[in-house]
Amino acid sequence: MKILVGYDYSTATQDVLALAKQHAKVFNAEVHLLRSFAQDPELQRDTIQQAEENLEHIRREFASLGLACDTHVVVSALSAGEDIVQFAENNTIDLIVIGVRRRSKVGKLLFGSNAQLIILTAPCPVLTVK
């Protein structure tokens, strides 16, 4: 089994990681942590490097528990939601785990909703954590 965790620095991140660890143990799953950045001329190399270091720290936590974990930092023209769905399709992911936060209907209209896009278009089940 392959589990994809959409990783950002939201308040639900620790809960998402804890749930991914539980599922990985129970299902003897391979976990993929994905951090997505939009292409932007102002995106700093330091920001990407910090994300890579954060993910490596988490990967080591998984490894210390005997869990298989790979990390991926993506910079693309796609939204984070589109990157997650595309990664899931290209890597035959069995489960996506993401954190969700409350946003008003107007906020979703203006800014979009990565969680909504993932839930509606993912090629596999999506587990949301709030």
Task: Please report the DSSP string for 11-56 in residue order.
Answer: TTHHHHHHHHHHHHHHHT-EEEEEEEEE--TT--HHHHHHHHHHHH
Query: What residue numbers bound the domain in which 110 lies?
Result: 2-129
Q: Is the pLDDT of residue 127 over 50?
A: yes
* Whole-number pLDDT of residue 12: 72
The domain tally of the chain equals 1
pLDDT value for 43: 87
Whether the CB-CB separation of 118 and 6 falls below 8 Å is answered with: yes
> Residue 115 maps to which CATH number?
3.40.50.620
What are the tokens at 94?
């069995």
40 has a pLDDT exceeding 50: yes
Q: What is the pLDDT of residue 110?
A: 40
Secondary structure letter of residue 129 according to DSSP: E
Name the pLDDT band for 111 (thresholds 50, 70, 90): very low
More confident: 67 or 114 = 67
% the chain with pLDDT above 90? 67
